Amino acid sequence: MRNIKVILQYEGTKYQGWQKQEGTEHTIQGKLEALLTKMCGDKVEVHGSGRTDAGVHALCQVANFHIDTDKTVEEIMEYMNNYLPEDIAVIHIQEAAPRFHSRLNAKGKTYCYRVLNSKIPHIFDRRYVHEVREVLDVAAMEEAAKLLCGTHDYKAFTSNKKGKKQAVRTVESIDIEKVNDEIRFTFKGNGFLYHMVRIMMGTLLEVGMHKREAAQTTALIASKDRKEAGMLVPAKGLTLVEVHYS
């Protein structure tokens, strides 16, 4: 069996996230597996580097699958792009080492969250940005972002209520860039918990709106209490930008 690695782009607007689910055909993994199974006649399981939530986009999602086919990688890519929906595309394909696994071998990820900070809507960006009309204090958000970085137990920043999953992660950097009416928040880390980036974003926006103090961020992390953190912002502003491997 050949191990094939692909890099995907998708607009997550109409999908219920990456992971296939019973009762819906609208998942990225489900679309890929159905297509590849049809192509080769045998069931194909697709592994992604991580599970993007419903409505989250990807510029560079990495996946791999084992497949028995005589098609070249170029022919596999052509077949996939011919039959995938117009909001999913394979942008790179290659033969991978037999033991390569897109999730288990990943060393980190980079996400970008886009905020439109304007009273005037941007019609053509509406699916990719979260609109905030209140004036945001960028300096205060930068101060809070620095305190969010490091290696910590981030239980306060996850919607996972089971509480059994290990929550220590390393956030290497949170860069904030203002481009005209848009503010872009770039998160880089070794891994992120369920809803972690979106809750961090909600916390940063509340700091930017002066609803909480930046200096309180350290105590918030130490609390390990989801109720102490900020709102969960909409998924549409979030994009998986890159998956990092050694």
If DSSP codes are grouped into helix, strand and coil, which group holds residue 62?
strand
Rounded to whole angstroms, the Cα distance separating 172 from 189 reads 5
CA angle, residues 23, 66, 110, in degrees to nearest 5: 75
Beta strands at 108-116 and 130-131: parallel, antiparallel or unpaired: parallel
Long-range Cβ pairs for the range 47-51 (8 Å, 24+): 47/101, 47/102, 47/103, 48/18, 48/102, 48/103, 49/102, 49/103, 49/106, 49/109, 49/243, 50/18, 50/103, 50/106, 50/109, 50/191, 50/192, 50/240, 50/243, 51/17, 51/18, 51/19
Query: Would you call 68 a catalytic residue per the annotation?
Result: no
Catalytic residue among 53, 125, 137, 225: 53
Catalytic residue positions, numbered: 53
